[in-house]
Chain A
C-alpha cells in the first residue's frame, strides 16, 4: 500500500510540474492544483498510513492515527484554494490587461524571438 501511495504522489507531482512549465496560464493553474494535491498527500502520509483509527477520542476506539499532519493539511487545503483563486484571477487580469493568456505576458509565438 505504501508503494502505491508513493506512486500516486509521484504521478501527481510529475503531472503538476509538467503543467506548471507550460506557457499559458490555465495549464499552469491546473499544474499548481495537481502539485498542491501531491504536497498535501505527502504531508498527510508523513503520519504514516493507518486504516479505521480516526483521531476522534472515544472509549470504543482501537487506536488513533497521528492528528498533527491532518491538522496541518486541513488548513493547507483551504489555503491552496485561496491561492488557486488568486492565481486564476491574476490570469484573468493579465488577459484583460495584456490581451493574451501567456504567463510571460506575450504571445507564445513571440517566445523564441524574445
Chain B
C-alpha cells in the first residue's frame, strides 16, 4: 500500500494546505512542504529496490468486476521521475513562498500545486494504463488551475484554456490508443504490455495504436505541431512554469515515450513519426527561442526545443539513444527549473521580463547573475556542465545513426545547427539581461532577492555542476537503473565521463559553440530579417480560428435542433418516442395478445371506466374553461384511486386519494393567478396534427398494456412476501419494501420532494402577480373569505384528522398506511385550516416556517440509516423487537418506524411549504408592496 499512500498523500494534502492557509501565509507553505516530505517518506522504504534490480508492484482491488485494479509500480524510471517531481517540488514550495505577493492566495496556490504533484506521481507510479490515463487527465486539469492562477488576467485564462484544450484532446486520443493497446495485449498492466513488444509491433492495429498514443505524447510534451500552447501557458506564475514546464507536466509525454519504449519502438513508423516530430520541434524551438524578447518566452521555446531533442533521441530507437534521452531528461529538469526560477527572480526584482529593457543587471544582482550563468551554460552545452554530457551523447548518436546512409550528413548538420542556436539563445539570455549597457526604464530598482529565494536555485545549479564534472559518481547509478527499466533489456555499453578524447561529437560541440557565438554577434540583421518574415506567424491564430469554427458549428447544430420553443421540443420528443415505439410492431410477427386468462368484466368496473373516460375527454374538450377542466381532472383522479381499491392496492388508493386533494387545492390556488379562460386556438392544422399524435400515443400505450396483461409473467415478489414478516417485522409488504427493503430509494425520493419544495419556495420569492378582484364571469369575489360555518367545522375536525393521521402512521408497518399517507393526511388537515381561517389566524397558532420540519424529517431518516453503522451493519439495516407494556399490551417496535417518521415529516413539511407559500402570494404581497 505504500505507493498508493505516496500518491494519495498530496491529494489529501491539498485540503490540508488550504486549511492551513487560514492560520497565515507561511503556514500553507510549511504544510505543503510537510506534505511533500510525507510523500517522500512513503516512498523511502522502497527506494533501494530498483537499485537491487527489483521492480516493486503493488495491486489493490478497485473495481474488480470491470477488471480495473489500483496498481502501482516502482522501477528505475518511476523512481527517477518520482525523485524529480518530489525533489523539485520541494524546491518550488520554498521558492513560491517568496515569489507570491501579498495579494495572491497562498492556500489556493499550494492546494493546486499539491493536486498537480499527486497527479504527476500517479502517472509515473502507475502500473495500470487506464489508471495512468486518469492521472494524466488530472495533470491536465490541475495544470489548468495553476496556469490560470491569476484569474484576473486575460492571458492567463486564455493560456490555461488553450493548454487544457490541446492536452485534453491529446489525452482523449491517448485513451483510444490505450484501449487498442489493451485489446492487442489483453491486459492493461504495464508488466504485460512491456513484455509483449513483438506481439504489438506485428499486430495490424499497431499503426493506429501508435498514432493515437503519440498524439497524447506530442500534445503533452509540446511537440510540433502542438507546441504552441506551451508559450501561452507562460502566463502562469513563474514557480508554476518552473515546475510544470521544466521538470514535470511537459515531461509526462517523454516519460511515456520512455515507459512504452520496449513495447512500441523499433519500427519504421516509430522512427519516422517520433524522430521526425522531435527534429522539427528541436529546430523550431531553438530558432524561435532566439527571437523572443520575453525572458520566459525564450525559456518556453528553449523547453520546446529540448523536449524535441529528447523525443528525437527516443525516436532513433537505439538503446544508447534511449540512455541519452533519459540522461537529458534529468539534466534538462535541473538546469531549466533553475533558469525559470532565475527568470522569476529577475521579474520579481526588476518588474519586467522584457529583454529589451533588462540590461546590465550584473551590478544590481551579481549573485543571481552567476547562478543564471552556470545554468545557462548547462543549457548551451558548455563543458563542465551536465547539459554538455547529454548533448555529446546526443551528437554521437546522431552521427552514429547516419553513418553509411545517403545524405547521412543531414541529421548531424541539423542537430549541430540546433546546438548552435541553443548556444546563441543562452548567450542572449545572459548577455542581454546582465550586461549589454544600462537598464531601460525599469519599474523598480533591482536588487538581490531574499536569501531563501535563492536557495532552490543554488541547489539546482550545484547539481548541474556536480553532474557535469563527476557524472559517474553522482548521477551514474540513478541513470543506470532508470535507463535499464526504460529498455527492459541489459544496458548497452556506455561510459559517463567528461573527456572522451577527440571524436566527432566533440567537434560538433565545438562547432555549435563557435557557431552560436557567431549567430549571437550577427543578431541585429537576423532580428530584422525575422521580424519581417517568420515573426508574424502565430499558431494561436490557427488555433483560435479552429476553436471559433468548432463553436460556430456547435451553435448551428444547436439552433437546428433547439428552436427555443418548448411546444416544438415536446412535439419532437413525442414524435421520436412514437417512432421508436411503433417501429418494433411493424417488423415482428408476434401476435398482440398472449394466452393468459383474464378477469371477467363486471358492471361496476365498466361504469367506473366509462366515468373516467368521459371525465378525461371532458378535461381535454373543456380545457379552455379551466375551472371546469380542474373539476373533471379531479374526477379522473378519484376513479384512479378506486381502481387501486379494486385491484388489491389499499396503500395506493389512500395515497392517490390524499394526493388528489392536495393537487386540486394546489391547482386552484395557481389558477387564481392564471387566466381563467383561454381563447380558442386559431391553428386548425396544429389541432389535427396534435390529435393524431395523441391518438397514436394512446393506441400504442393501450396496445402495449394489453399485450403485457395477456401474457404470463414471473416476479421476484416471492422474496418480499416471504421475508416481510421475519425480516422486516411488518405484515404490510408495500410499506416494508418502502421503509426497509428499498429504504435507500425512499430516502432519495423524500430528498427529491424536499428539493422540489425548496425550489418552489425559491421561485416564489419576490414574485409579484396581479391578483384579480373578479372571477372569470366578471363577478366580484366574495368579500367573506373565511365563512364562519366552514371555519368552525374545520377547527373541530382538526384533532380528529390528526388522530387519524397518527393512527395511519403507526399502523403503517402492518396495515395499509404509513408515512407517506399519514403525511399527506396531516398536510390536508392543516391546509384546510389555512383555507378556512386564513394564514394570519393559523400562523398565530403554529409555526409558519416548515423548513425545520423538512430538515428534521431528512435528518431522522438519514440518522436511522446511519445508526445501523454503529452496530456494524450496512446503511439502513433495520431491526425490530416486540414489547409488552402493561395496559397497552404487546406491540412491536421497529427501527423502520423511525424512518417512516422521517418520511412523514418530510411529506408534511414539503406539502405545507409548497401550498402555504403559494397561498401566501395572495395575502402578503399587496401589504408587502405598500411597505416599500
Q: Hey, which bits of chain A sit against chain B, CB under 8 A?
A: 1-15, 17-27, 29-30, 33-34, 37-38, 40-42, 44-58, 64-68, 70-71, 73-75, 77-86, 88-93, 95-96, 101, 103-104, 108-109, 111-112, 114
Does B143 interact with chain A (Cβ within 8 Å)? no
Question: Which of A24, A37, A82, A83 contacts B910, CB < 8 Å?
Answer: A82
User: Among B649, B682, B690, B713, which residue has the most Cβ atoms of chain A within 10 A?
Assistant: B649
Query: What is the minimal beta-carbon distance from A69 to any residue of chain B, in angstroms?
Result: 9
Q: How far, in Å, is A52 (CB) from chain B's closest CB?
A: 6
With a CB–CB cut-off of 8 A, which chain B residues contact A29?
A: 667, 670
Cβ contact within 8 Å between B757 and A82: yes
Across-interface contacts of A79 in B (CB, < 8 A) = 749, 752-753
B764: CB under 8 A from chain A?
Answer: yes
Taking the closest CB of chain B, its distance from the CB of A57, in whole angstroms, is 4
A93→B763 contact, CB < 8 A: yes
Do B698 and A21 have beta carbons less than 8 Å apart?
no
**Residues of A contacting B708 in the complex (Cβ-Cβ under 8 angstroms):** 45-46
- Report 26 cross-chain contacts, Cβ distance below 8 Å, ordered by A residue: A1-B599, A2-B710, A3-B601, A6-B709, A11-B613, A11-B698, A12-B636, A13-B701, A21-B694, A33-B637, A38-B701, A44-B652, A49-B599, A51-B599, A66-B715, A66-B717, A67-B720, A67-B737, A74-B734, A79-B752, A81-B662, A85-B757, A89-B763, A90-B763, A92-B670, A108-B681
Q: Do the beta carbons of B759 and A44 come within 8 Å of each other?
A: no
B723 to chain A, nearest CB (A): 10
Task: Assess whether B662 is in contact with A57, with CB atoms less than 8 Å apart.
Answer: no
Complex Cα spacing A109 to B733, Å: 53
B816 on interface, CB distance cutoff 8 Å:
yes
Contacts of A65 in B (CB 8 A): 647-649
Which residues from B are CB-within-8-Å of A26? 623, 626, 670-671, 674-675, 678
Identify which of B566, B602, B679, B907 gathers the most chain A CB atoms within 10 Å of its CB. Answer: B566
B620–A19 touching, CB < 8 Å: yes
Q: How far is the CA of A94 from the CA of B914 in the complex (A)?
A: 17
Cβ contact of A56, chosen from B690, B715, B733, cutoff 8 A:
B733
Given the contacts A51-B647, A66-B717, A71-B742, A82 and B756 also touching, CB distance less than 8 Å: yes
Question: In the bound complex, how far is the Cα of B646 from the Cα of A80, in angstroms?
Answer: 22
Of the residues A11, A64, A71, A73, contact of B616 by C-beta under 8 Å: A11
Which residue of B619, B682, B734 contacts A55 across the interface (Cβ within 8 Å)? B734
Contact in complex: B598, A18 (CB < 8 Å)? no
Q: Taking the complex as formed, is B691 at the interface, i.e. its CB lies under 8 A from any CB of chain A?
A: yes
A13 touches B697 (CB 8 A): yes
In the complex, which residues of chain A have a beta carbon less than 8 angstroms from the beta carbon of B630? 30
Q: How far is the CB of A19 from chain B (nearest CB, A)?
A: 6
Q: Is B716 an interface residue (CB 8 A)?
A: yes
Number of interface residues of B (CB under 8 A): 113
- Shortest beta-carbon contacts, A-B, top 10: A10-B702, A14-B698, A18-B694, A82-B756, A6-B706, A57-B731, A71-B737, A67-B733, A1-B599, A2-B709
Among residues of A, the one whose C-beta sits closest to the C-beta of B720 is: A67
Q: Cβ of B574 < 8 Å from any Cβ of A?
A: yes
User: Quick check: B709 and A49 within 8 Å, CB to CB?
Assistant: yes
Interface string of B684-706 (1 = CB under 8 A from A): 00000011011101111111011
Q: Is the CB of A41 within 8 A of B643?
A: yes
* A41 and B749 form a contact (CB under 8 A): no
Residues 647-658 of chain B, each 1 if its beta carbon lies under 8 Å from chain A, else 0 = 111111001100
Evaluate contact between B693 and A78: CB separation under 8 angstroms: no
Residue of A nearest to B707 (CB): A6
- Quick one: closest A residue to B646, CB to CB? A51
Task: Assess whether B34 is interfacial by the CB under 8 Å rule.
Answer: no
Query: Which residues from chain B contact A27 at a C-beta distance below 8 Å?
Result: 623-624, 629, 678
**Contact of A51 with B648 in the complex, beta carbons under 8 Å:** yes
Q: Assess whether A1 is in contact with B738, with CB atoms less than 8 Å apart.
A: no
Q: Measured between C-beta atoms, what is the minimum distance from B644 to chain A in Å? A: 7
Give the interface centre of B646, B756, B757, B815 by most chain A CB atoms within 10 Å: B756
- A80 to B760, alpha carbons, bound, how many Å? 14
Q: Are B633 and A45 in contact (CB under 8 A)?
A: no
CB-based contact A53/B648 at 8 Å: yes
CB distance from A81 to the nearest CB of B (A): 5
Contact check, A21 vs B574: say whether CB atoms are below 8 A apart: yes
A-B contacts besides A14-B694, A21-B571, A33-B663, 6 pairs, CB < 8 Å? A8-B643, A11-B612, A75-B749, A77-B656, A86-B756, A92-B767
Tell me the complex Cα distance, A16–B303, Å.
Answer: 65
Q: Would you call the interface of chain A mostly helix, strand, loop, or mixed?
A: helix
- Tell me if B522 is interfacial: C-beta within 8 Å of chain A: no
- What string of 1s and 0s marks CB contacts (under 8 Å) between B751-775 and chain A? 0110011011001100111000000
Q: List, in ascending order, chain A residues with CB within 8 A of B62's CB.
A: none
- Output the least CB separation between B461 and chain A (Å): 65
Asked if B574 and A83 make an inter-chain contact with CB atoms under 8 angstroms apart, the answer reads no
Known: A65-B647, A71-B737, A82-B757. A5 touches B715 (CB 8 A): no
Contact, CB under 8 Å: A74 / B820: yes
What is the bound-complex CA distance between A86 and B709, given in angstroms? 33
A3 touches B598 (CB 8 A): yes
CB distance from A12 to the nearest CB of B (A): 6
CB pair A1–B756 under 8 Å, yes or no, is no
Q: Is the CB of B737 within 8 A of A101?
A: no
When the two chains form their complex, are residues A101 and B675 in contact, meaning their CB atoms are under 8 A apart?
yes
A74 contacts which of B620, B655, B767 (Cβ < 8 Å)? Answer: B655
CB-based contact A95/B673 at 8 Å: yes
**Could you tell me if B599 and A2 are in contact, using CB atoms closer than 8 angstroms?**
yes
* Given A7-B702, A56-B731, A85-B760, A68 contacting B715 (CB threshold 8 A): yes
Q: Which of B620, B675, B702, B734 contacts A67 (CB 8 A)?
A: B734
Residues on A with beta carbons closer than 8 Å to the beta carbon of B700 = 13
Q: Is the CB of A17 within 8 A of B698?
A: yes
Q: Are the C-beta atoms of B670 and A89 separated by less than 8 Å? A: yes
Whether a CB of chain A sits under 8 angstroms from the CB of B861 is: no
Residues from chain A with a CB closer than 8 A to the CB of B650 are 54, 56
Q: Given the complex, which residues of A lie within 8 Å of B655, measured CB to CB?
A: 74, 77-78
* B815 partner residues in chain A, CB cutoff 8 A: 56
B746 at the interface (CB under 8 A from A): yes
- Residue of B at shortest CB range from A103? B566
Contact call B648/A55, Cβ cutoff below 8 A: yes
Expressed in whole angstroms, the Cα–Cα distance for A93 and B82 within the complex equals 57
Give A19 to B564 CA distance when docked, in angstroms: 20
Query: Which residues does chain A contribute within 8 Å of B275, judged by CB atoms?
Result: none
Q: Which residues of B contact A42 (CB under 8 A)?
A: 701, 705
Residues on A with beta carbons closer than 8 Å to the beta carbon of B738: 71, 74-75
- Contacting residue for A75 out of B644, B674, B745, B757, CB 8 A: B745
Q: A4-B601, A10-B699, A10-B705 are in contact. Are A70 and B671 (CB under 8 A)?
A: no
Q: In the assembled complex, which residues on chain A have CB atoms less than 8 Å from the CB atom of B666? A: 81, 84-85, 88
The verdict on B617 contacting chain A, using a C-beta distance below 8 Å, is yes
Residue of B at shortest CB range from A85?
B914
* A64 to B720 Cα, complex, angstroms: 11
A18 and B737 contact, Cβ closer than 8 Å, known pairs A1-B601, A23-B681? no
Q: Do A74 and B652 touch across chains, with their CB atoms under 8 A apart?
A: yes
Give the complex CA separation of A17 and B816 in angstroms. 33
With most chain B CB atoms within 10 A of its CB, the pick from A2, A19, A41, A111 is A2
Which of A15, A21, A54, A92 touches B648 (beta carbons < 8 Å)?
A54
Of B637, B700, B763, most buried by chain A (CB within 10 Å of CB) is B763
Rounded to whole Å, the gap between the CB of B665 and the closest CB of chain A is 11
Query: A83 near B649 (CB under 8 angstroms)?
Result: no
B721 within 8 A of A: yes
A10 to B698, CA, bound (A): 4
